[in-house]
Amino acid sequence: MTTDSPVLGVRGVVKRYGGQTVLAGVDLDVHEHEVVALIGSSGSGKSTLLRCVNLLEDLDDGRILLDGVDVSDPRVDADVARRGMGIVFQSFNLFPHMSVLDNITLAPRVVHGVSREDAEQRAAELLERVGLADRAGSYPDNLSGGQQQRVAIARALAYSPRLLLLDEVTSALDPELVGEVLSLVRELAAHGRTILMATHEMGFARQVADRVCFLDGGRVIESGPPEQVLGSPVHERTRQFLRRIIDAGRL
């Protein structure tokens, strides 16, 4: 389900590192309640695009629009703009010296000025939602990788962002822990969360995404419904990529 005005608009985004162009003019929209999956080989620009969207990287060209506002404009306070976005990385990035509860409540209290009582109430609701209500007092080292990633997702949701960015959230997990995180993302999608995610889980992208975008050489080569992009791709480069995935047993 989409609306006419996108939550996220990526317009001609270019990102270079030294002499290497990682993003070569990316255009992309993500509408409200839509789940868009970014797929592509390692080095295709998926993670860099998410970092540019979250304003963790300066753009060499182009614009990032959040609800129609150009948040990439240097005159815009990036910290304020990021309040509309939550990002979860491949690594969990939890503070090891803080409890699960404190990891989730830190940003709402310190950055967003939420009272401790309200932040902890929201954290308790989120921990219940991700199936970790009994681990609020635990420390990250006492959790499995799957549990840590679910805490990281809860932390990203703590201030109700308009857009959730997921960067290969299962890639650092042991295979037996992947399912619990994918199940949580599937639930968030089913409840209408707006999500842009980079993933190497093609079967998951087919099940959950409303749209799949194949990136190659820093460009969106093909975009469309999962059944079209993953089942009957138009471009030969997409077909080559998917043949390798099939050969590796990942589709």
pLDDT tens figures, 62-73: 999 999 999 999
pLDDT of 221:
96
Instruction: Write down the pTM of the prediction.
Output: 0.91
Q: What is the pLDDT of residues 66-119, one digit of tens each?
A: 999 999 999 999 888 988 999 999 888 899 999 999 999 998 998 888 999 999
Q: What is the pLDDT of residues 157-204, one digit of tens each?
A: 998 899 999 999 988 788 888 888 899 999 999 999 999 999 998 989
Structure tokens, 167: 């960067």
Starting at the edge strand found earlier in the chain, the sheet holding 211-216 runs: 85-88, 163-167, 195-198, 35-39, 211-216, 219-224
pLDDT of 251:
58
Task: Assign domain 1-76+195-251 to a CATH class.
Answer: alpha beta
Q: What does 177-208 look like in DSSP terms, one character per residue?
A: HHHHHHHHHHHHHHTT--EEEE-S-HHHHHHH
